Amino acid sequence: MPKALLLENIHPLAVESLKKAGFDVELRKGALSEDELIEALDGVDLLGIRSKTTVTKKVIDARPTLTAIGCFCIGTNQVDLDYAAKHGIAVFNAPYSNTRSVVELVIGDIICLMRRIPAHTHHMKHGVWDKSAAGSHEVRGKTLGIVGYGNIGSQLSVLAEALGMRVVFYDLEEKLALGNAQACATLDELLEQADVVTLHVDGRKENTGFFGEDQFAAMKDGALFINLSRGFVADLGALKQHLASGHLAGAAVDVFPIEPKKSGDPFETALADEDNMILTPHIGGSTLEAQENIGVFVSQRLEDYWFNGSTMLSVNMPQITLGDYKSACRIAHLHDNLPGVLARLNHVLGEEGINISGQALGTEGEIGYVVTDVATKPDRQTIEKLRAIDGTIRLRIMA
């Protein structure tokens, strides 16, 4: 029975799905450190994680039999994707399942900050009746600046316009504007006109600290700042200075450079004493609906890869979409993208008199992936010949 290890409170629907598929599933609540993860992965075929567990080169080297990793979230920067691919480990995520949840939280943050709800709530809790319109605004007619116009940024654009906001956005890649949104040629162009700046960039290393003192200083007086993307992209020290000086009117932060491993752990931030501040514990995508969708989506991708060899929506493998096979056996051969590998594989099968009933090949960068349906299950000697082909990374037999 293949074994799956799921960490960080992954939704029970994922556990149920994998168990029904025939996996022995171990579920753990929190994240694991590097050494703890290596120990826990002994005998594990599939690993499920969220954002707090890091899969490093050391982990991959220590557990070379690990076959696939499911990131039950949007981001995959917690996994060394290239190294995983070169060692035959497919990685899957859920790029769309919690998009709506994140967008709705951003909309809620914008409205609450515009109306100074955090500040009023703080005053009420401390016995102060501060019935005043000072600093309180409608969102209608304000300009929203979206930094990163991907799945989340573009959907946020549509909802913000429905509230009557003007939307501008900036992205490193050329993106089709939705509705009446307008693209900015530079980040500075966005900052000089946005009443609200919200970050929705990915987790690539190049984005580390990209929004710092210079960018905060370039924002409009009285503007709002929101970050629900990655904790390492914004300088929170600079943010605090611009809030304390009165330059910025408020902020909402959901992600932090260093976050606790599990719920209930202590957490401190210098932003806690700011007046018009919303602090949330990395819950942008944490709705019941989103977690259910993610649990089902990622577990199905893992099952499709394990049983059928399908790499559909893998983030580090060539894309091949495969259904159930009707032949006696399916051979999945992951290899370095070198000339002649397919010919050598077919030559081995031909020498052994094994008829090919179907074949699919995909390449991406340095990796090649060929899946072959055959009429006869290869014997051990044939399997070793296939494994001995130059450039072989991993050979899997599904029967």
What tokens does 132 get? Answer: 């005043």
What tokens does 42 get? Answer: 């002994």
Q: Out of 115, 230, 301, 333, which one is annotated catalytic?
A: 230
259 counts as catalytic:
yes
126 counts as catalytic:
no
First to last CA, the chain: 14
Compute the distance between CA of residue 370 and CA of residue 349 in angstroms, rounded to an integer.
13
Compute the distance between CA of residue 30 and CA of residue 36 in angstroms, rounded to an integer.
11
Q: Out of 36, 104, 259, 352, which one is annotated catalytic?
A: 259
Nearest CA-CA partner of 53 in 202, 260, 306, 264: 260
Q: Out of 50, 63, 200, 282, which one is annotated catalytic?
A: 282
What tokens does 25 get? Answer: 């599933």
CB 330 within 8 A of CB 373: yes
11 counts as catalytic:
no
CB 261 within 8 A of CB 31: yes
Compute the distance between CA of residue 247 and CA of residue 245 in angstroms, rounded to an integer.
6
CB 313 within 8 A of CB 300: no
Strand order in the sheet with 329-336: 356-364, 367-374, 329-336, 392-398
Active site residues: 230, 259, 282
